[in-house]
């Protein structure tokens, strides 16, 4: 299968760029020759099941572990050599947040912010309160962290990442433990950050959620990056489906076969009066087949009456299965 075009082929500057990034543990390669290209200002969904190498990759990007080989550039700086310059511009939530259980959410953020040498003490209280409000925890700011639900702890971790202005936000499974309302709030937050110019790199296994908020996608499997590009690039890989509503199904199937398509033998009648009866004819349209416009033109030229015509693409889940040959936990 032809991979989606790499984001590196675009003219946009890159917030994250890796070349042949590899991480080995003994003889086992957790990450193998990964070439990431994350455009600045994008919401990049880093997809893959557990054990695919996502978290190991993120830890190398942030200088939390060293690469066995390969090169990393984050916000234009080589990592980990330029970590002192780069990391103050990066907010991160990796492998779940950890807090002092008997301090309040607000007190935890004060403590974490005071550990940041670049964070001005004079604005600390205002910045902490603003971050709590932004993730929907203003009402629980005084509650002890041990009383927070998993979803609330996730949001408190995101608030910590937002205490200072960031050019890049790296979130590892940010929707973990969130209820549907919390998930929607995080999705809206991520979109608003991107609208303000922040690049957001989101590692996730929730395909439906990624499909709703990301502009670019990278798919990992068994330590390798299988494909990356815009969401539309990934959807365009492989097969689309032609759905034709016509009262001339036999003639339509003849035309579709002549175009190299394989219409399904079974058609479904519509609930229409007999005088206007039409049937639904479906066929797969592969990437190197005729364009939808050419299909319609051929049908009309053959005097096939077209009552309805659409071309549908597969879901992100189906694309993932096409690429990897394996299932995916889409529900979380």
Cα 51-202-110 angle, rounded to 5 deg: 110
> 331 lies in a domain?
no
> 110 lies in a domain?
yes
Find tokens 């997809």 and name the residue. Answer: 47
Q: What is the mean pLDDT of the chain?
A: 84
Q: Measured between alpha carbons, how far is 217 from 228 in angstroms, rounded to an integer?
A: 5
> 43 lies in a domain?
yes
For residues 228 and 277, membership in a common domain is answered with: no
For residues 202 and 253, membership in a common domain is answered with: no
> 325 lies in a domain?
no
Within the chain, residue ranges assigned H as helices are 54-61, 83-86, 105-114, 124-134, 150-161, 180-195, 207-213, 231-236, 249-258, 292-301, 316-324
Total domain count for the chain?
Answer: 2
83-142, pLDDT tens digit by residue? 999 999 999 988 777 899 999 999 999 999 999 888 999 999 999 999 999 888 999 999
Q: Measured between alpha carbons, how far is 128 from 134 in angstroms, rounded to an integer?
A: 10
Distances (CA, A) of 300 to 135, 182, 253: 54, 50, 13
Q: Measured between alpha carbons, how far is 163 from 131 in angstroms, rounded to an integer?
A: 6
Report the pLDDT averaged over residues 24-51. Answer: 92
137-192, pLDDT tens digit by residue? 999 999 999 999 888 888 899 999 999 999 999 998 888 777 788 788 888 888 88
Higher local confidence (pLDDT), 107 or 259: 107
Strand partners, 29: 24
Does the pLDDT at position 4 exceed 50? no
> 86 lies in a domain?
yes
Does the pLDDT at position 29 exceed 60? yes
For residues 81 and 162, membership in a common domain is answered with: yes
pLDDT of residue 317: 65
Q: Which two tokens stand for residue 111?
A: 């403590």
Does the pLDDT at position 330 exceed 70? no
Higher local confidence (pLDDT), 54 or 276: 54
Distances (CA, A) of 263 to 260, 266, 267, 268, 329: 10, 9, 9, 13, 31
For residues 73 and 222, membership in a common domain is answered with: yes
Q: Measured between alpha carbons, how far is 209 from 331 in angstroms, rounded to an integer?
A: 9
Give me the torsion for CA of 28, 174, 14, 65, rounded to 10°.
Answer: -40
For residues 89 and 156, membership in a common domain is answered with: yes
For residues 44 and 89, membership in a common domain is answered with: yes
pLDDT of residue 52: 87
> 249 lies in a domain?
yes
- Domain boundary residue among 202, 236, 270? 236
pLDDT of residue 130: 95
- Domain boundary residue among 217, 236, 255? 236
pLDDT of residue 264: 73
- Domain with 87 in it: what CATH number? 3.40.50.300
pLDDT of residue 332: 38
Question: Which pLDDT band holds residue 289 (cuts at 50, 70, 90)?
Answer: confident
pLDDT of residue 269: 54
> 323 lies in a domain?
no
Higher local confidence (pLDDT), 209 or 111: 111
Does residue 148 have a cis bond before it (omega within 30 degrees)? no
- Domain with 257 in it: what CATH number? 3.30.70.260
For residues 303 and 160, membership in a common domain is answered with: no
pLDDT of residue 331: 38
For residues 39 and 187, membership in a common domain is answered with: yes
Which is nearest to 16 in space by CA: 84, 72, 95, 60? 72
For residues 83 and 191, membership in a common domain is answered with: yes
Does the pLDDT at position 15 exceed 50? yes
For residues 34 and 166, membership in a common domain is answered with: yes
The residue range of the domain holding 95 is 7-236
Question: Which pLDDT band holds residue 5 (cuts at 50, 70, 90)?
Answer: very low
């Amino acid at each position: 299968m032809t991979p989606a075009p790499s984001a590196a082929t675009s003219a946009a500057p890159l917030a994250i760029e890796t070349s042949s990034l590899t991480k080995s543990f003994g003889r086992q390669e957790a990450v193998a020759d990964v070439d990431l290209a994350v455009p600045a200002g994008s919401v990049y969904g880093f997809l893959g099941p557990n054990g695919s190498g996502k978290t190991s990759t993120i830890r190398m990007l942030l200088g939390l572990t060293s690469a066995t080989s390969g090169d990393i550039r984050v916000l234009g700086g080589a990592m980990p050599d330029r970590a002192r310059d780069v990391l103050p511009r990066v907010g991160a939530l990796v492998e779940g947040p950890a807090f002092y259980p008997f301090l309040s959410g607000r007190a935890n953020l004060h403590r974490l912010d005071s550990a940041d040498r670049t964070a001005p003490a004079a604005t600390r209280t205002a910045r902490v309160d603003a971050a709590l409000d932004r993730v929907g925890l203003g009402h629980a700011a005084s509650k002890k962290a041990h009383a927070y639900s998993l979803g609330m702890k996730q949001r408190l971790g995101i608030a910590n990442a937002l205490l200072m202005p960031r050019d890049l936000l790296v979130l590892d499974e940010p929707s973990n433990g969130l209820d549907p309302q919390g998930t929607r709030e995080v999705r809206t937050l991520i979109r608003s950050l991107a609208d303000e110019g922040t690049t957001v790199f989101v590692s996730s296994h929730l395909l439906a959620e990624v499909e709703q908020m990301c502009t670019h996608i990278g798919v990992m499997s068994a330590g390798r990056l299988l494909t990356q590009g815009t969401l539309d690039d990934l959807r365009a890989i492989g097969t689309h489906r032609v759905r034709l509503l016509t009262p001339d199904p036999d003639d339509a199937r003849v035309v579709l076969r002549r175009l190299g398509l394989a219409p399904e033998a079974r058609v479904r009648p519509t609930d229409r009066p007999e005088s206007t009866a039409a049937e639904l004819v479906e066929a797969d349209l592969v990437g190197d087949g005729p364009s939808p416009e050419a299909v319609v033109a051929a049908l009309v030229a053959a005097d096939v009456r077209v009552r309805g015509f659409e071309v549908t693409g597969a879901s992100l889940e189906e694309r993932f299965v096409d690429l990897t040959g394996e299932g995916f936990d889409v529900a979380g």
